[in-house]
A = this chain, B = another copy of it.
Amino acid sequence: MNDKDRFAPSEQILSGETADVYFLHARRILEAEGSDADVTMEVFPARDGILCGMEEVRQLLKKVLSPGGEAWAIPEGKKIEKREVTLRISGSYRKFGIYETAILGILAQESGWASAARSCVEAAGGTPVIHFGARHVHPDIAARLEYAAVVGGCSGCATPAGATLAGIEPSGTIPHALILCIGDTVEAIEAFDRYIDPKVKRIALVDTFKDEAEESLRVARALGDRLWGVRLDTPAERGRVTPELVQEVRARLDQADFKHVRIVVSGGIDPDRIYLFQKQRAPVDAFGVGSAISSAAPIDFTADIKQIEGRPVAKRGRIPGVTPNPRLERII
C-alpha cells in the first residue's frame, strides 16, 4: 500500500455527506447564482501543537481542487503555534468549499492526538513510548489514532491497522485474558514462546495472579535469555505501578542475574506520571500509554476566507487579507 492509498479520502467524504449541510446549501446557491469567485481561505489552530493529518488533507485537495487551484501548508509532524496559518487554499470556492468540515476535522482530531503523544514522549526523555489506546476510540478511527501517536513521536503502536498506516510493526505483549484462560503466568508465556513467531519479542505481563516481583523472577527463570522483558500493569486497586516497584523488580532481577530482562510500565501513564518515574530515576525501559493520548481533545482549527478575487476580506473579528507565513510550502 503506498502513501496515496493509505490516506485516500473515502467516498462518503468526497460526496459531501459528512459536510455540515450549510456548505452544501452554499454550493447550491452559488451555482444557482452563477457565481464562481476565486477565493483564498486560511486555516489556523486554536492552540499550540503538533500538526497531523496534513498528508491526508493534501490528497483530498489534490482530488477536488485541480486543476487551477493551489494550496500551501506546513508539513506533517511539525510544531504549529496558536493562530498560525497552517494551510492556505486558493481556487474556485465552489470546488473546495464543501470540504471545510472534513479538512478541519482531519487536522483537529489527528493533531490533538499527535500533540498529546508528543507530551508523553518529551516527558520520557529518551525512553521509548508505546501507544496502546485503540480501546478508547471507535475502531473505524483507531488506525488514524495510532498513526497520529507515531507522528507525535511514539515508538510503537498496538493494532495491525494502525501500524500499517504508520509504516511499522505492531507491538504487543500478552493480555490478562490469556493468562486467566491458561491459569498461570509462566505457562502462558511458555505457550506464547512455543507458538508465536520468534521475531516477536517475549514480554511477560506479571501482575495477573501473583506479586509482580515474585512473578518476574518466575518468568525469567522459565524463559531465560529468550525473555525480552516484563510488563508491570498493576491496577489502581493495588496502587498502580510506582517508581519504587520498578526499582525493586529491577534489583531482584539483577540479584538473580537477569540483567537482560527489560521493564515495561503501563496503566494510567501520562506525562505527570512519566515525570515522576524520571525524577525518581526508576529504571523503566519503555512506557505503555493509552488514554493520555487517545483521550486528548481535538485542537480546534478555523477556516477563514481572507481574499475574494484578489480583494482582502474578512468577517467581523478577523483581519482581512492574506497573513504571510514563510513556513508554508506549496503542496498543490
Contact = CB atoms under 8 A, between A and B. Distances in A.
Contact of A140 (B101, B140, B179, B214): B140
Interface stretch (A24-32, A62-70, A270-278, A324-332): A24-32
**Copies per assembly:** 6
B196 A21 contact: no
A132 B105 CA distance: 12
A291 B295 contact: no
A245 B234 CA distance: 12
Interface in A233-259: 234-240, 242, 244-245, 247-248, 251-252, 255
A222 interface: no
Nearest to A178: B26
5 cross-chain pairs, A with B, having the tightest CB-CB distances, nearest first: A239-B239, A237-B244, A235-B317, A22-B172, A237-B317
18 contacts: A19-B160, A22-B173, A22-B175, A22-B178, A25-B192, A28-B195, A29-B191, A30-B178, A30-B181, A106-B139, A109-B136, A209-B211, A209-B316, A210-B211, A211-B214, A234-B239, A291-B297, A297-B297
B191 A33 contact: yes
A300 interface: yes
A29 B316 contact: no
Nearest to A309: B181
Interface of A: 9-10, 12-13, 16-26, 28-30, 32-33, 35, 37, 39, 41, 53, 93, 97, 100-102, 104-106, 108-110, 132, 134-144, 158-164, 170-182, 188, 191-192, 194-196, 200, 207-211, 213-214, 234-240, 242, 244-245, 247-248, 251-252, 255, 291, 294-295, 297-298, 300-301, 303, 305, 308, 312-321
Given A32-B194, A108-B135, A305 B177 contact: yes
A261 B52 CA distance: 42
A318 B235 CA distance: 9
